[in-house]
Amino acid sequence: MPSAMQQPIGVFDSGIGGLSVLQALRAELPQERFVYLADSAYAPYGERGDAFVKARSHAIADYLCQQHHIKALVVACNTATAAAIDELRAQRPQLPLVGIEPALKPAVAHSKTKRIGVIGTRGTLGSARFAKLLASLQGQAAFVLQPCDGLAHAIERSTLQSPANGPIQTTETQALCARYTQALGPFGAQPGQIDTLVLGCTHYLFAQDDLQTLLGPDIRLVAAGEPVARQTRHLLQATGRLCHTSTPLAADTALQLYTTGTLAALQTAAARWLQLSASTCHAIALPHHEAH
């Protein structure tokens, strides 16, 4: 088994959305190896119950620890972080764990009107963890919340189309983005208008072009990938697990991607968003276990 420094970092999401976090991790830690698992057979988590999400999170953590001997785990899914990270930490006290939550604090820092839109899954926005985060910022800004049923799934489904068969059809994603941003209320730089939008689901970064087109160039979109990457570096340093080589690893060497869903969908997403070859992608079966 490789030394602790050489072991990979595990990253998982309910689907391909966490590739946006993997992108940020790679930029922050180019010398590290990563194993990414997209649980696409069970996506999206945001419209399922907590017990189900906890069971999947434990099954994935077990798999990544046992089969890939990971040195740290990044939960690159807002819903899984909200539902399961406390249990994951309690059961694996020796494993550095990094979760993700909607980037409300950075949004407050960016916003001038102090009226901030937040889009996310129902599971994330309705969680106790999110309520606690919201309460910690009381009085600093007004947050307008919008659950986006179906949006993560639409982004996930768009990867099932092959570019070889013509342009990728994103009309479903565009229609949902239009519906949900319209429901949030007026956007703009005037008092009472929303000038910052928090992307509270990792999938949504892959719809940022559609969102920016709808809202205009002056509306700031805020995602959480970069803060997660910085926290991962900090934890690796603090536990003596940071890889000290200064030579960045080639992406095809550093990354192994796995999916419980359709292999072609992961290959399409990896090529489109991370410019990775199909050889980095693999399909696995990871049966569902009952909650711990």
Q: Is 121 helix (H, G, I), strand (E, B) or coil?
A: coil
Q: Would you call 77 a catalytic residue per the annotation?
A: yes
H helix intervals, 159-207: 171-184
> How many Å is the Cα radius of gyration of the chain?
18
* Residue 12: Cβ within 10 Å count: 25
Give dist(CA 63, CA 274) in Å, integer.
24
Nearest to 261 by CA among 49, 43, 53, 61: 43
Which tokens hold the place of 244? 């000290």
Residue 198 pairs with which residues in a beta bridge? 118, 222
DSSP 8-state assignment for residue 32:
S
DSSP 8-state assignment for residue 248:
P
Nearest to 73 by CA among 144, 137, 21: 21
Query: Which amino acid is it at 256?
Result: Q
Q: Give every CB contact of residue 94 below 8 A, 6+ residues apart in sequence.
A: none
Among the options 177, 201, 243, 281, which is catalytic? 201
Residue 146 pairs with which residues in a beta bridge? 119
Q: Contact at 8 Å (CB) between 121 and 46? A: yes
Give dist(CA 125, CA 146) in Å, integer.
8
Which tokens hold the place of 116? 């901030």
Give dist(CA 44, CA 248) in Å, integer.
33
Catalytic annotation, residues: 77, 201
